[in-house]
Amino acid sequence: MAGGTSFEQIPEGQMAPLFPFGPMMIHAKMPMDMVRSLNKYTNKTIKDEQKAKKLDHSHQLVGKLKQEFLIDEKELNRHVHFFNNVIGHFVQTELQRHFKQLSKNTGFGIDYKSAWIVRQFAGEFNPAHIHTECDLSCVGYLKLPPEIDKEWEEDYKDHYPCKGHIEFLHGQSGKMHTHTFLVKPGVGDFFVFPADLIHVVYPFESEGERRSFSMNMAVRQHDVDSEGNAVKSLRSDDKWLTNDNKTSKLKVDSLNK
């Protein structure tokens, strides 16, 4: 047992916000080169019907959508530095907000289990759901219908605008906290969140495509040597983009231990 968090070393008069409850999310803005690359990959795959059929991922997903297909390893590896940076920041921040650190002589790596393109058109939607057999999920936005701003302008006159938005839900509302987080997507927006955080994507009416991508990731803890190198590999190359490994909690120690 790590025991309770102690504040006895905090100087008099100092204050800081605490976020000990509930799930955390991180937002990052993708480089436009990355957005263009993923759109180019998507457009080429759409034109290659045989490849699109081979990469079809819709049977694994809950979306009531036109098309969902996997992103191959070659394309995803172009952007792994961006992903590693954002997801690594998520893990470190999550530990810090709970006053924890990885156990001594351990580190962590990220296992990218699956990644896929999501193509949504008028009237289509993604019902409330979570992602399984992973620790973290994400969504990145690549394209929006050309007239969506006009639709949003009208929708925002309503008491609860949500067309074409994504909403995250957790727990129940209270007097000083909320249980929902509604996001108006923009091209380049990238969000990382716990895989078991409920989320829903609402339909829209505009002509054109709302294009995004999602990934499932597992955080793997491992022993490290005196130079910080992993003692043994987290996974072999042939395990890339698989869903056969169960996840487990990280071993952590208290920061004020």
Query: Is residue 106 within 8 Å of residue 180, measured between CB atoms?
Result: no
Number of structural domains in the chain: 1
Query: What mean pLDDT is reported for the chain?
Result: 86
120-135 pLDDT, tens digit per residue, is 999 999 999 999 999 9
**Which pair of tokens denotes residue 89?**
């920041």
- How far apart CA 142 and CA 133 sit, in angstroms, is 26
Which structural domain, as residue segments, surrounds residue 97? 26-224
Domain-embedded: residue 245: no
Mean pLDDT computed over 212-241: 68
Query: Is residue 129 within 8 Å of residue 62, measured between CB atoms?
Result: yes
194-225 pLDDT, tens digit per residue, is 999 999 999 999 999 999 999 999 998 888 77
**What are residue 104's DSSP bridge partners?**
none
Checking if the pLDDT of 53 tops 50, the result is: yes
Domain-embedded: residue 76: yes
Domain-embedded: residue 20: no
We report the CATH number of the domain holding residue 135 as 2.60.120.620
Domain-embedded: residue 185: yes
Domain-embedded: residue 9: no
